[in-house]
Amino acid sequence: MSLDLYAYLCLGLFFFVLWTICFVLRADLRSMMLKFSLAGAISGPLSEIWYFRDYWSPPTIVGQGVLSPEDVLFGFAIFGVAFAALPVIRGIRFIATEKPRPMMLPLFITSFFVAFLLLTDAIGINSIITASLVMVLWAIGILLRRPTMLLLSIGSGALLAAFAIVIYVMLLGDTTEYLKHYWFLWGTPLGHTVLGGVPVTEIVWYFCLGVSAVVIAPYAEGKRLA
């Protein structure tokens, strides 16, 4: 149990290290990183209200299946990394061409909870699928306006999914016992795993976040690819 207790914390710390590297290396991305990370720090913990019902119930430093500092840390770090990782690695830059859209990120956050109410609570779609769908729809909506960002979007999703696979394998190794105890999809049609125990739903969620983050953050700031 002791290792299980700190698994979620270690996950958040891993991505916070990546966040810090991105933040230090690229001063031009810092404003977008901070704003999008704040969106993650808000939406992440609140989304757990639904995740705790039908997706997982992880142990944390303050208890099991309860809102915790890990939720805030992970939400903050992963959203910032999702936006900045590929631009940092590839040297991609953005330029301001339009007025900022200050309501974009509040609408993005709100859309999760509207979707949870309509799709998860009313229809019964698992919350992790609902969240992934919301992110993909946002990405599609923006890419229809900015098709030149398509390859960047797909590449960002693939990179974030790869990060997730690496850290899950490093952190948990054989995840069988962890998943049996804390993951509600174990043994269900959605409970498929790959590479020794990485849930497919996790890979999909990370991919969808990466696909959406790298287009939403610049769009909210009125910026395009340079």
What is the pLDDT, as a whole number, of residue 114? 96
111-118 — which CB contacts under 8 Å span 24+ positions? 111/138, 112/43, 112/46, 112/47, 113/46, 116/47, 116/50
pTM of the predicted protein model: 0.95
Q: What is the CB neighbour count within 10 angstroms for residue 117?
A: 12
User: CA 203 to CA 201: how far, in whole Å?
Assistant: 5
Per residue in 211-225, pLDDT tens?
999 999 999 999 999
Describe the crossing of helices 30-54 and 104-115 by its angle, rounded to 10 degrees. Answer: 10
- The ranges assigned to domains in the chain are 2-225
The C-alpha atoms of residue 21 and residue 184 are separated, in whole angstroms, by 34
**How do 63-64 and 94-96 pair as beta strands?**
unpaired
Written as six digits, the tokens of 50 are 């639904």
Residue by residue, pLDDT tens for the chain (226 residues) are 467 888 899 899 999 999 999 999 999 999 999 999 999 999 999 999 999 999 999 999 998 988 999 999 999 999 999 999 999 999 999 999 999 999 999 999 999 999 999 999 999 999 999 999 999 999 999 999 999 999 999 999 999 999 999 888 876 666 677 888 899 999 999 999 988 788 999 999 999 999 999 999 999 999 999 8
Residues in the chain: 226
| pLDDT recorded at residue 18 | 96
